[in-house]
Amino acid sequence: MLHYIGRRIMQLIPVLLGMTFIVFLIIRAIPGDPAQVILGQQASEEAIKALRTTLGLDNPWYIQYFDYLKGLLTGDLGESLRTRTPVVDEVWPYLAATIELSVFAIIIAVIIGINAGIISAWFQNSWFDYLAMIIALIGVSMPIFWLGLMNQWIFSIELGVLPTTGRENVRDPVDVITNFYVIDTLITGQFDQLATVLKHLILPGTALATIPMAIIARMTRSSMLEVMRSDYVRTARAKGLKMFWVVYKHALKNAIIPVLTIIGLQMGLLLGGAILTETIFGWPGIGRYIYEAIGFRDYPVIQSGILIVAFIFVMINLFVDLLYGLVDPRIKYD
Amino acid sequence: MRKKKLVSLAFLMLLLLATALYGCSSDNASDNTEGDSGDSGDSGEPKVLIFGRGGDSVSLDPIAVTDGESYKVTKNIFDTLVNFGEQDTEIHPGLATEWEAAEDGLTYTFTLEEGVKFHDGTDFNAEAVVANFERWAAGNADQFPYYGSMFGGFGDEEGHVIESVTATGDYAVEFKLKRPQAPFLKNLAMSSFGIASPTAFEAAGDKFGDAPVGTGPFKFVEWKRNDSITIEKNADYWVEGEPKLDQVVFRSIPDNSARLNALLSGEIDLADGITPSDGATVEGDDKLQLFERPSMNVGYLGLTTTREPFDDPKVRQAMNHAIDKQAIVDAFFEGRGEIAKNPMPPVISGYNDSIEDYDYNPEKAKELLAEAGLPDGFEMELYAMPVPRPYMPDGQKVAEAIQKNLADVGVTAKIVSFEWATYLEKAANGEADAFLLGWTGDNGDADNFLYVLLDQDNIGSNNYTYYKNQELHDILIEAQTEVDEDKRNDLYGKAQEIIHEDAPWVPLAHSTPLLAGGKNVVNFKAHPTGSDKLSTVDLE
């Protein structure tokens, strides 16, 4: 097991290294000069030149790349060209905001998606099955932008029950400790704030959960249908076991593995792909952080931001792979 | 049997969902205060104004930045020596109660307000002003970009206008200039030159922008990046009776529609960046009011004068006749703007109103094209801005309208667009035949439009059309040091005639940027520079 983990982590190195290289090349291939963007339209030619020198943008790209790698080895993710703050120091609040939102979304997606999938498979071709699969189809093809604005319209403006944007009530701000506001409010024991924070999570969380939820439901259904036809399920039913236990205990255990993979992938995608949701709901997450950095040609932020997201992505997948063993003891790692 | 189980299962799921939702929204009552607490004007309740805007600030050290979103906040934390008027760019006293300019324009003596304290409790006095200018002059273009561009450079540099700043008394400061600078006072009024506490910036070094200390109506409290910036009332503010509000929170909500939604639901009290098309929605809502920011911008179609066929002034004039500006202003600015005939808006002193604009006249345009040897028109690329800006709410649609106008005179325009930074770089490199762009003034001075945008010195930076005219250059340079207001205005009047004749642009519009707020917001006056001082704003 430990050997397996070790090997998997070793495999990460070339993956991440290759990724830094590709990202590095792409962002330098797009035109646009960070010095010009930082100093604005008013800047003089000399000012831009001077800034390019201070930022090390004068060096050939491969020297810049090796400088960057050298920094990475010492844990230095570079310094934002725009705010002049080390990425390591400023990235955490954004990352935490996105993780909190993604975890909330994936919980919704998993609870509803898996159950909908199971029930659809259990009562295949019933009205529930059709309805659930139609909703799932709509879900996968849902434009998040439209959905988000509509939800704001219905739940915030018309019904007035949920806030439109942001993470907290700014009139009663959360004392930041970990930057996970749910945890912070629990630590400080501010339960009314906790309720507010959870309410702020609902609209962006459900918008973000829509697509993974649909995908998980469809995956669970097809995987369950396959298992339900197997011999051991028939045996379980033949010996008179209650259908509920057959489905949720026996069948689910074998059907869940491909679903786990999907969940892992979706969770990774949520972390990096929440830009739209973060924009509509004014969520100060890492997607927006990186996206805005692209507009400013803030190379270190783009590079290191993507690196961090990619790192988490592969770690989640490693974690999911390890989870298989727990769910299915027949799977061995060596 | 099967049916029964389905029902019970569905019930179970419903229960689960209900529990989850209950947990999320357990106390509706306490949370509803979020939208409404701003309404209560009772003396007991703190008055908190929430200002929604499109982006976050870059830094709260005003001298270190050039972006409007930073100034929106720093304007309320710092004071400047002199102030702009409430809704114009006339010069009024600020931290300086009065000032005297020598006849030759080389010496300015300021008398400072007494008894003013910085937020950290240290005294504001002549020494503090000197310390600020010394800090800036010792910097470079990378640290303090606007100091360099407004005062010509740093330290011993040739172009640096300020020779010395000395304290001639506890509350008297003398500026000596190397040569007269006409917009000197207007420069000093810019948000960038807010006077900071020397004790604080010496201690904080380049981290000053994270914990700014000024003399302004509000003190810095907290900054949650990309989310919110909170400032609170400076109870010892030196202007009697100000500020009215206890707290202001600037929230970044990037999406325009979402920001309007937040305003409609009462989560924010003021919203910036209302699009012209949303203006009507706001006006139709009896809980909201619309604010117009006096226009200090210009949106234009630039014609790159080094590229064929735009190297021929006749072709450029033909373009001016071909485009129906009124239709564009009506359709895409929803009437919230006026047609531009000069490169700067009428509010700016020196505006030449006697210039007669090129009328919309396709026949005339065709004649001019024929005279230029292009009776059958030509093909060109038209750059459409990828991002909305106050001076150009929808670049793509404006480009389409222009494309249609040009087709009517036989010119085939292909619309192209790039991501914003790429767009600017390509335009600055002179790669565009014709491009949409605009400018919002910094200090309300004609120099800030005409010299910056159209002088040959600025080719490669803001003179994207590569337009070059020696006569114009001489006039603009002369005007920079001309301290006699009337003579200076005459020079700018002449400059605008030359530009009109050479037609490097098709000036399109001076738009009116819109803001919206709840009806309970009183005394809010949007400033043309884009940064609003909120010290007199109140909530009812």
Mean pLDDT along residues B162-186: 94
Higher local confidence (pLDDT), A105 or B32: A105
Check residue B35 and give its pLDDT: 41
pLDDT reading at B143 higher than 90: no
Do the chains contact at A84 and B426, CB–CB below 8 Å?
no
Which positions 212-271 of A are in contact with B (Cβ < 8 Å)?
Answer: 243-244
Check residue B33 and give its pLDDT: 39
In a domain, A113, yes or no: yes
Residue B413's H or E segment, with its range, is: strand B412-416
Check residue B23 and give its pLDDT: 41
Residue in B2, B37, B262 nearest the CB of A171:
B37
Do the chains contact at B224 and A284, CB–CB below 8 Å?
yes
Residues of A in contact with B257 (CB under 8 A): 149, 280
In a domain, A48, yes or no: no
Give the total number of structural domains in chain A: 1
Judge contact between B230 and A170, C-beta under 8 A: yes
Judge contact between B263 and B245, C-beta under 8 A: no
Residues of A in contact with B389 (CB under 8 A): none
Q: What is the pLDDT of residues A87-120, one digit of tens each?
A: 988 999 999 999 999 999 999 999 999 999 999 9
Of B45, B25, B26, the closest CA to residue B37 belongs to: B45
For an interface test with B, give the residue of A83, A126, A191 to mutate (most B CBs within 10 A): A83
Give the closest-approach CA distance of A26 to chain B in angstroms. Answer: 14
pLDDT reading at B465 higher than 80: yes
pLDDT reading at B538 higher than 80: yes
Nearest CA in chain B to A152: B261
Burial A272-304 (b: 16+ CB within 10 A, else e): bbbbbbbbbbbbbbbbbbbbbbbebbbbbbbbb
Check residue B200 and give its pLDDT: 96
Check residue B138 and give its pLDDT: 94
Mean pLDDT along residues B289-318: 94
Mean pLDDT along residues B322-334: 92
Neighbours of B130 (CB within 10 A): 17
Higher local confidence (pLDDT), A322 or B270: B270
CA distance B494 to B482: 14
Confidence of residue A42 (pLDDT cuts 50, 70, 90): low
Check residue B45 and give its pLDDT: 83
Confidence of residue A67 (pLDDT cuts 50, 70, 90): confident
Check residue B152 and give its pLDDT: 86
pLDDT reading at B61 higher than 90: yes
CA distance A109 to A130: 19
Judge contact between B435 and B448, C-beta under 8 A: no
Residues of B in contact with A111 (CB under 8 A): 16, 20
Write out the DSSP string of B169-217: ETTEEEEEESS--TTHHHHHTSGGGPPPPHHHHHHHGGGGGGS---SSS
Range name among A23-27, A92-96, A148-152 with the lowest pLDDT average: A23-27
Confidence of residue A156 (pLDDT cuts 50, 70, 90): very high
* A5–B contact, CB cutoff 8 A: no
In a domain, A49, yes or no: no
Identify the domain containing residue A105 by its residue range.
88-327
pLDDT reading at A249 higher than 90: no
* A171–B contact, CB cutoff 8 A: yes
Residues of B in contact with A296 (CB under 8 A): 421
Residue A162's H or E segment, with its range, is: none
Planar angle of CA A192, A284, B278, nearest 5 degrees: 95
Range name among A39-43, B196-200, B346-350 with the lowest pLDDT average: A39-43
Residues of A in contact with B146 (CB under 8 A): 42
Do the chains contact at A165 and B261, CB–CB below 8 Å?
yes
Nearest CA in chain A to B462: A41
Query: In sequence order, what are the residues at sequence separation of 6 or more whose Cβ sits closer than 8 angstroms to the Cβ of residue B488?
Result: B182, B350, B479, B482
In a domain, A234, yes or no: yes
Confidence of residue B66 (pLDDT cuts 50, 70, 90): confident
Judge contact between B509 and B333, C-beta under 8 A: yes
Give the closest-approach CA distance of B157 to chain A in angstroms. Answer: 12
For an interface test with B, give the residue of A119, A169, A171, A193 to mutate (most B CBs within 10 A): A171
Could you give phi then psi for residue B122, rounded to 5 degrees? -80, 160
- CB contacts < 8 A, A to B, total 205
Residue A156's H or E segment, with its range, is: none
Nearest CA in chain B to A80: B58
In a domain, A333, yes or no: no
Residue listed under structure tokens 């202007």 = B239
Range name among B35-44, B199-208, B443-452 with the lowest pLDDT average: B35-44
Query: In sequence order, what are the residues at sequence separation of 6 or more whose Cβ sits closer than 8 angstroms to the Cβ of residue B118?
Result: B124, B128, B196, B197, B199, B200, B213, B214, B215
Do the chains contact at A41 and B421, CB–CB below 8 Å?
no
* Rg of chain A, C-alpha, whole Å: 24
Q: What is the pLDDT of residues B104-123, one digit of tens each?
A: 899 999 999 999 999 999 99
Which positions 8-67 of A are in contact with B (Cβ < 8 Å)?
Answer: 30-33, 36-37, 39-47, 50-51, 54
Confidence of residue B350 (pLDDT cuts 50, 70, 90): very high
pLDDT reading at A5 higher than 70: yes
Mean pLDDT along residues A59-78: 86
Residue in A156, A167, A282 nearest the CB of B254:
A282
pLDDT reading at B24 higher than 80: no
Give the closest-approach CA distance of A294 to chain B in angstroms. Answer: 9
Check residue B43 and give its pLDDT: 56
* Rg of chain B, C-alpha, whole Å: 26
pLDDT reading at B19 higher than 90: no
Check residue B27 and give its pLDDT: 39
Pair of tokens at residue B404: 């249609």
Confidence of residue B36 (pLDDT cuts 50, 70, 90): very low
Of A85, A78, A37, the closest CA to residue B145 belongs to: A37
Judge contact between B536 and B240, C-beta under 8 A: no
Give the closest-approach CA distance of A89 to chain B in angstroms. Answer: 12
In a domain, A219, yes or no: yes
Residue in B24, B55, B462 nearest the CB of A41:
B462
Residue in B16, B17, B258 nearest the CB of A164:
B258
CA distance B284 to B296: 27
| Mean per-residue pLDDT over chain B, rounded | 89
Residue in A37, A111, A164 nearest the CB of B262:
A164
Judge contact between A64 and A56, C-beta under 8 A: yes
Mean pLDDT along residues B388-396: 87
Check residue A41 and give its pLDDT: 62
Residue B51's H or E segment, with its range, is: strand B48-53
Confidence of residue B388 (pLDDT cuts 50, 70, 90): confident
* A163–B contact, CB cutoff 8 A: yes
pLDDT reading at B331 higher than 80: yes
Pair of tokens at residue B346: 């009428």
Residues of B in contact with A297 (CB under 8 A): 421
Give the closest-approach CA distance of A222 to chain B in angstroms. Answer: 19
Confidence of residue B21 (pLDDT cuts 50, 70, 90): very low
Check residue B22 and give its pLDDT: 42
Q: Indicate the length of chain A as a whole number.
A: 334
Higher local confidence (pLDDT), B233 or A62: B233
Cα distances (angstroms) measured from residue B249 to each of B78, B221, B360: 16, 10, 47
CA distance B177 to B261: 51
CA distance B394 to B385: 8
CA distance B84 to B79: 11
Judge contact between A77 and A88, C-beta under 8 A: yes
Residues of B in contact with A244 (CB under 8 A): 5, 9
pLDDT reading at B1 higher than 50: no
Confidence of residue B490 (pLDDT cuts 50, 70, 90): very high
Q: What is the pLDDT of residues A250-269, one digit of tens each?
A: 899 889 988 998 998 888 88
Which positions 287-306 of A are in contact with B (Cβ < 8 Å)?
Answer: 288-289, 292, 295-297
Nearest CA in chain A to B463: A41
Pairing of strands B297-303, B288-292: unpaired
Check residue A294 and give its pLDDT: 85
Do the chains contact at B253 and A46, CB–CB below 8 Å?
no
* A89–B contact, CB cutoff 8 A: no
Do the chains contact at A31 and B422, CB–CB below 8 Å?
yes
Confidence of residue A325 (pLDDT cuts 50, 70, 90): confident
Query: In sequence order, what are the residues at sequence separation of 6 or more whose Cβ sits closer than 8 angstroms to the Cβ of residue A226?
Result: A255
Q: Indicate the length of chain B as a whole number.
A: 540
* A202–B contact, CB cutoff 8 A: yes
ipTM score of complex: 0.87
In a domain, A52, yes or no: no
Confidence of residue A68 (pLDDT cuts 50, 70, 90): confident
Q: Is the peptide bond before B243 cis (omega within 30 degrees of 0)?
A: yes
pLDDT reading at B442 higher than 90: no
CA distance A117 to A123: 10
Residues of A in contact with B424 (CB under 8 A): 32, 36-37, 41
Give the closest-approach CA distance of B145 to chain A in angstroms. Answer: 7
CA distance B58 to B212: 13
Check residue B30 and give its pLDDT: 38
pLDDT reading at A246 higher than 60: yes
Paired with B435 in beta bridges are B302, B383
Residues of B in contact with A292 (CB under 8 A): 55, 226
In a domain, A61, yes or no: no
